[in-house]
Chains A and B, each alone.
Chain A
Amino acid sequence: MKITVNGRPVDVPEGAMVSAAVSLAGITAFRRSVTGEPRGPLCGMGICFECRVTVDGRAHVRSCQVPCRPGMEVRTDG
């Protein structure tokens, strides 16, 4: 399945979450904290909100809880 992360195409396996796609794109900083620190996923289960990204224009989506869909456009601000 193909999606894009920050405009670049990424091949993701069936059933993968958006968090996996961001990692597969080689990105470790999923977002910047309020003081500008790079942050990535912590809990992997939708609790911590550290893995927030923008999915198809919708901001603050927890990437670990949303399955990839073909053509999805993901943006990180890390």
Chain B
Amino acid sequence: MDRYDVLVVGAGPAGLAAARAANESGASVAMVDDNPAPGGQIWRGTSPALPKAKVLCGARVVAAPTAGRLTLETFDSDFDVAYGALVIATGARERFLPFPGWTLPHVMGAGGLQALAKSGMPVTGKRIVVAGSGPLLLAVADYLRRHGASVALVVEQAEQAAVMRFGLRLAQHPGKLVQAMRLRAGIRYLTGCWPVSAEPGAVTLRRGARTWTERCDYLACGFGLVPNTELPMLLGCGTSVDDFQQTAAPGIYAAGEVTGIGGLDLSLVEGEIAGLAAAGQRDRARRLFAARERHRRFADALERAFALRPELKALATDDTFVCRCEDVTLGRVRRCAGWREAKLHTRCGMGPCQGRVCGAAVEFLLGWKQESVRPPLFPARIGSLSGERE
């Protein structure tokens, strides 16, 4: 079994920054990522220079058999890796909210459609409505437009005033302001507007008293991001970190969006601090605290501006599927006392995604939080978990 001083899970911006900092501090470093190439969702295989580290891509963590060891599975193999220190940089996923028609094949995530397009799915000539919440919507619209799609409009659930306040805040970060203005130019952008249903080849939108239907080949719809906390939950270390990005478990660090949604700049500095600290370079890590603080204030403003409005809780009806893996309706879930009962009685959250999609939706709709995670973290082959390897 291979052993590394520092093992980094997640090769997005935070993970890459951590791996680079740890490697430059003299530690032996490996990075694990479920995706076929490093870079995370934002860079997707086109990240700037890679750090000198062993890169295990197309590999997902399925279990943590003993302390200091993770079990990984790839398309056609499984193996264990041992570590001295661990940096969890598992990033975030999109929050999807259920509404009638959200399971139709033309409805995808906003970041989801962008990721699929980056993976080679053709969008040229497609008429697309981008909907949901957060600055990602404009970035997605801009990407799709530059790749030949016709972006009919972008609809943001937050009110104009909140988005404007956030825009003014961007003025303190001139680089971000320029980026936002460039993205916004020439795109029809409606605030205080959200999808109420999707129909084959269309979406029905509401803004104030007006409800209307827009034809679209794709509806790209995501309501902000939620951290991927399954691994820290499995390890029992949580996602609260100290100044050095160390979790409640000594030697286990967390950096980037897994600790809270904060964007690229915050992820980079958190990753660097975690990588330095994991390699024993605390004094060097300390020099980055002020920069991290600045980026954290930006993250707080982001969260306030794009807070989800309560009207979105009324979009799903009792007949709407909440759990797409097991096709469980909101009506059935609502009748349960909590997550545990819902899992046992309806199989909500028990399918292949293991609650990664319905978990955030149920938390928003019913206020239930998933309390525990069990191995395997992802559906795995029996052989990967039997321990008979080496």
Contact = CB atoms under 8 A, between A and B. Distances in A.
A37 B103 contact: yes
Contacts of B194: none
Given A20-B119, A34-B326, A52-B352, 8 more contacts: A12-B120, A30-B105, A38-B105, A40-B106, A42-B357, A44-B108, A47-B357, A48-B356
A43 B94 contact: yes
A41 B116 CA distance: 8
Interface of A: 12-13, 15-17, 19-21, 23-24, 28-30, 33-35, 37-50, 52, 58, 60-61, 64-67
Classify chain B: how many residues form its interface, as a range. Answer: 35 or more
A20 B147 CA distance: 15
Contacts of A20: 116, 119-122
Contact of B115 (A29, A50, A61, A64): A64
30 contacts: A15-B45, A15-B120, A17-B119, A17-B120, A20-B116, A20-B119, A20-B120, A24-B122, A28-B105, A34-B325, A34-B327, A39-B105, A39-B324, A40-B105, A40-B106, A40-B108, A41-B108, A43-B112, A43-B115, A44-B119, A46-B34, A46-B60, A48-B357, A49-B352, A49-B353, A58-B75, A65-B34, A65-B36, A65-B58, A66-B36
Given A17-B119, A20-B119, A65-B36, A45 B93 contact: yes
B109 interface: yes
Contacts of A44: 108-109, 111-116, 119
Contacts of A34: 325-327
Contact of A16 (B34, B111, B119): B119
B285 to A, nearest CB: 30
A23 to B, nearest CB: 5
Given A28-B105, A45-B93, A48-B356, A64 B120 contact: no
Contacts, number: 115
Interface in B337-367: 351-353, 356-357
B35 A46 contact: yes
- The A interface, classified by DSSP as helix, strand, loop or mixed, is loop
A42 B379 contact: no
Nearest to A23: B121
Interface string B108-152: 110111111001111000000000000000000000000000000
Interface in B8-53: 34-36, 41, 45
A22 to B, nearest CB: 9
B83 interface: no
Nearest to A17: B119
A1 B269 CA distance: 40
Contacts of A17: 36, 116, 119-120
B58 A42 contact: no
B145 to A, nearest CB: 18
B35 A19 contact: no
Given A20-B116, A37-B103, A45-B115, A60 B109 contact: no
Contact of A45 (B75, B107, B112, B379): B112
A76 B94 CA distance: 25
A64 B326 CA distance: 20
B96 interface: yes
Contacts of B105: 28-30, 38-40
A41 B130 CA distance: 16
Given A16-B119, A20-B116, A42 B324 contact: yes
A42 to B, nearest CB: 6
Contacts of B75: 58, 61, 66
A14 B93 CA distance: 26
Contact of A42 (B96, B228, B352): B96
A44 B106 CA distance: 13
Contacts of A47: 93, 228, 353, 356-357
Given A20-B120, A42-B108, A45-B111, A33 B34 contact: no
A11 B112 CA distance: 23
B327 A33 contact: yes
B356 A19 contact: no
A53 B97 CA distance: 24
A35 to B, nearest CB: 4
